[in-house]
Structures are given as C-alpha cells and as structure tokens.
Structure 1
Amino acid sequence: MPVLDLSFLLIAGPAVLFAGISKGGFGSGAAFASSSLLALVIEPGLALGVMLPLLMLMDASTLRPYWRRWNAEAAWMLILGGLPGVALGAAFYAVASPDVLRVMIGTIALLFVAWRLALANGWISVVKRQVSRGVGLLAGVVAGFTSYVSHAGGPPAAVYLLARGMSKTEYQATTVLVFWAINIAKFLPYAWLGLFTAGTFRADLVLAPFALLGAWLGVRAHRMISERAFFAVTYILLGVTGVKLIWDGLT
C-alpha cells in the first residue's frame, strides 16, 4: 500500500505533472517516466495501479482540445492491434514476479532512451511514406503489450505514426485518441489482477490535481515550448531510473 508521506509526494507529484504535460502536448514519453519513478518507491504493480486512473483522467481532459484533429485510419489500426496486445500483456503480468517487472520496465526505459537518441542524432531514420495497415496493427499489438506492463506504449505507436508523415498536432491528437482507448481496455484486467486497492485510490485522489494541471499545461504548451528541451530532461530521468530498476530487479 502506498505510504502518502512527503517523500512519496516529492517523487509522485512532479512525475504525474510531467506525465500530464507530456500527454497533453508532447505524446506519451513522460507518462512512462512517471511509472518508472513510482516503481522506485513502491512495488511495480502498485505503481501501475496508481498511474492508470491518472492516465485515464489525463486522456479524458485532453480529448476535447484535440477533437477530430486525429488521423482516423491510423488511430483505428493502432487501437485494433492494441486490444490483443493488452490481452498478451495481462497474460504475461499474471505469471511475472515483481523483480521480472522491474527488469522489464528498466530495460524498456533504456531502449526507449537509446531509440530517441539514435533518432535525434540521425543514426536511424523513420521514412515518411504510406505504410500498410498490417504495420499499424503490429505496432498496435506491441503498443498494447508495452502499455499494459509498464505504460510504455508510446515508442511503437510513435514509429508507425511518424512514418506516416503527420503534422505535429495530427500526431498528438492521434496519440490522445489511441491511448484513451487502450487505457480503457487495461482497466478491467488491472482490476482483476488486484492492482487497484484502497491505498492506490487514496493516492489517486491526492495526485489527481497534478494530473489535471499537467494535462492543461501540456495543451497550452503544445505550440509554445520546445519539445527538445522538455524531452531532454525526460530522457535523462528515464535513463537513471531504468538503470536503478534493473539493478534492483537483479540484486
């Protein structure tokens, strides 16, 4: 059960605020960072259980500003693939130990940072062209799985969406719609696995203002703040927490 003391709030408050800003204006990168940070101070399953209702609150508050500005075909492919991906994630989680989850979340964190660094430095490139629906379905499956086990569905969805050459706002709106649907699909399996408790509910009540404020700031900042500066901090945070989680899981 999460202990709602000062140390918890000093980590969870900024983490949830960053997640809201990211989901509101810059995709889903910082949402993943928040789950990784929370897993440093509470059991990984509880960290996922605390974050999901907050992510759903962010989704609901950002749907209206981006309403109908998404790419419907791309969103539909990712959602259709995401649903079986969520089912695969639920099956894996049911048999995995907390240490396995720590190592997995930490590894995904480091791979995500490496992927973004390689993309930013031109070591790899995402070709902007018409991609098949099958690619979208596959990306959705991977996004659903990684979203379920660590709220880290952003990278596989991003690869597919960036390959389609979308504008910044169309890309952002599509991610809002896709993860609104995927997070709804995750709710019942999370409840069935016992990831929601009275303690996580109290934590969500305390952290809800951070989630709403972050989402509002993200929408406002969508055209005002440099994406590069915001995510530079996020990637450093992800790298450090990824190493720490792997260390904890192995030792």
Structure 2
Amino acid sequence: MIFDPAYLAAMVPAVILVGLAKGGFSGLGLLSLPLMALVLSPVRAAAIMLPILIVQDIVSVWAYRREFDRRNLAMMLPGALLGVLAGYLLASRVSDAAVGLSVGIISVAFAARRLFADGKAQQLVTKAELLPGTFWGAVCGFTSMIAHAGGPPFQIYVMPQRLSPPAFVGTGAIFFALINLMKVGPYLALGQFTHENLMASAALFPLAILATLAGVWLVRRVPAERFYTIIYWLLILVGLKLVFDGFTGLHLFS
C-alpha cells in the first residue's frame, strides 16, 4: 500500500497540506482527509493521519512555545475533552456528512460576513470567555474526533479576538496538540492502530516535518492583515468543500 501510485498521489499532497496547516495556514488542513478518502476509508485515513498530526504537533508547539494565549486554552480545553468523548461515543450514530455540512455552512457564513458584510467598518474585537470558549471547544473536539475537522470552529471563536498571527497560530498549535493526544485512546479502542496503518504513518513522517517547518517559515513572513485575509478565503474554500461533500454524502442532490 505504501508505494502504490494512487495511494501516494493522494497521501503526499494531503500530508503537505496538513504540514502547512500545522505551521500556520490552518484552513488547509481540512482538505487533507477528503483527499485521503479517495483511496482509503475515512476512518482508516483518519487513523493513519493521527500519528502524523502528533509528530507535526511536536514541531509546531516547539516553534510557537512562547507565543500563545493561555486564557483561550483554559477556556476551550475542558469543552474539547467533552467533545472528543462525545465524538467517540456517537461515532457509530452520527453521519460524517451531516457534521461536515453543518461545519461548512457555519464556516462559509462566518468568513463571508467578515470579508464582505462588515465592509470598511471597524470590526468588533472580542475576548476569550468561559461559556463561548467551552461551547466552541466542545465543537472543536467533536469535529476533530470524527473527521480531523476542528479548524473552522477554532477560527470562528478565536479569530474575532484579533490575536497577533504568531499568538493565533501558537494557541491553535497547542490546543490541537492536546486534542490529538486526547484522541489516541479512542482510536486505540476502535482498533485502528494496526501495524500496516502505523507503517504508513511512519513512511510519511519526514515529509510531514518538512511541510510543518515550511508553514512556520511562511506565516512569520506574511503581514498581519494579509494573514487574516488569506485565512478567511481559505475558510470559505474549505467550507464550500465541506458543504458539497455533506450534500453528496447525504444524497441531497439526488
């Protein structure tokens, strides 16, 4: 499987996208799992990707170890744990297509409002608070557990706070590193860490590390306003992809 051309054609770009996302361009990461699902079942693809994500987490957390927002982590992590547990318990009953559709709609609506509806008016800057942080943390944990799709909910909650780009990326790096560690137990319980899956993950580790370092290098060289504009556009593109996949998966086009 590791050297199958179709497998490599899907997995190599997916790992590069996730690496760039871990390095700072977080919208790109959501494109990886649909790409892998072209050649593998979604559950198996997610299981192969999890060890890669954890290795990339080590790189990104080290790179941003001094640049993160402690208050956001404190507000979001308890909810994230509940979300991961809910995703594990309800995985057999909840449709990935339905979750992807809802996340996609929210992502597109949020990003479009920030880009277009606000115009040139001053955008309201929010701050981290307990109840919204717990709610969005739970959404992040749930969608991350079932589809590695925690990025848009995190962006919806944190981006209006207008953190500096390094603080925004560093907070996300530490937050999702901890979520990924939370997911190890559930994936073990699902029996997905087989020898073949772990070997497939190991073969992609070097590429994952290089892509993450490239993302870190790029995000430190993109001006703040341009950074947020890029993230909003990525959020729209990824949201549209999730909406399309959700409609298709639910057979709403037929």
Q: TM-score normalised by the shorter chain: which range applies?
A: 0.7 to 0.9
Q: Structure 2 stretches of 5 or more lacking a match?
A: none
Verify the 8 A CA contact 2:104 2:241 in the aligned structure 1. Answer: no
Q: Which residue is 1:65 aligned to? A: 63
Percent of aligned positions that are identical: 28
Aligned-partner residue type, residue 199 of structure 2: R
Aligned-partner residue type, residue 19 of structure 1: V
Counterpart selection for 2:45 from 44, 47, 62: 47
Counterpart selection for 1:130 from 127, 136, 142: 127
Structure 2 counterpart SS, 1:41: coil
Counterpart selection for 1:194 from 185, 191, 194: 191
Aligned-partner residue type, residue 17 of structure 1: I
Aligned-partner residue type, residue 189 of structure 1: P
Mapped partners of 1:145, 1:126: distance in 2: 29
Verify the 8 A CA contact 2:100 2:242 in the aligned structure 1. Answer: no
Is the alpha carbon distance of 1:114 and 1:206 closer, same or farther for their aligned partners in structure 2, counting shifts above 3 Å?
farther
Mapped partners of 1:233, 1:44: distance in 2: 22
Where do residues 107-146 of structure 1 align in structure 2 (5 Å cutoff)? 108-109=103-104, 111-122=106-117, 127-146=124-143
How far residue 68 of structure 1 moved from its aligned partner, in angstroms, is 2.4
Is the alpha carbon distance of 1:141 and 1:103 closer, same or farther for their aligned partners in structure 2, counting shifts above 3 Å?
closer
Structure 1 counterpart SS, 2:117: coil
Q: Is 118-127 or 42-51 further displaced after alignment?
A: 118-127
Mapped partners of 1:212, 1:138: distance in 2: 32
TM-score by length of 2: 0.84
Verify the 8 A CA contact 2:2 2:8 in the aligned structure 1. Answer: no
Verify the 8 A CA contact 2:72 2:128 in the aligned structure 1. Answer: no
Task: Indicate yes or no: 2:19 matched with 1:25.
Answer: no
Aligned-partner residue type, residue 57 of structure 1: V
Is the alpha carbon distance of 1:39 and 1:109 closer, same or farther for their aligned partners in structure 2, counting shifts above 3 Å?
farther
Is the alpha carbon distance of 1:129 and 1:246 closer, same or farther for their aligned partners in structure 2, counting shifts above 3 Å?
closer
Verify the 8 A CA contact 1:19 1:29 in the aligned structure 2. Answer: no
Task: Indicate yes or no: 2:168 matched with 1:171.
Answer: yes
Mapped partners of 1:242, 1:37: distance in 2: 15
Q: Is 157-166 or 103-112 further displaced after alignment?
A: 103-112
Counterpart selection for 1:155 from 152, 155, 162: 152
Aligned length: 246
Structure 2 counterpart SS, 1:95: coil
Mapped partners of 1:211, 1:249: distance in 2: 32
**How much is the aligned-residue C-alpha RMSD, in angstroms?**
2.7
Counterpart selection for 2:96 from 97, 101, 104: 101
Verify the 8 A CA contact 1:126 1:162 in the aligned structure 2. Answer: no
Cα-to-partner distance string for 1:199-225 (whole Å, 9 max, x where unaligned): 321221222222111101011111224
Task: Indicate yes or no: 2:7 matched with 1:8.
Answer: yes
How far residue 172 of structure 1 moved from its aligned partner, in angstroms, is 0.9
Counterpart selection for 1:212 from 209, 212, 237: 209
Q: Is 113-122 or 29-38 further displaced after alignment?
A: 113-122
Structure 2 counterpart SS, 1:40: coil
Is the alpha carbon distance of 1:205 and 1:49 closer, same or farther for their aligned partners in structure 2, counting shifts above 3 Å?
same
Cα-to-partner distance string for 1:106-127 (whole Å, 9 max, x where unaligned): 5534543443333322369973
Verify the 8 A CA contact 1:110 1:243 in the aligned structure 2. Answer: no
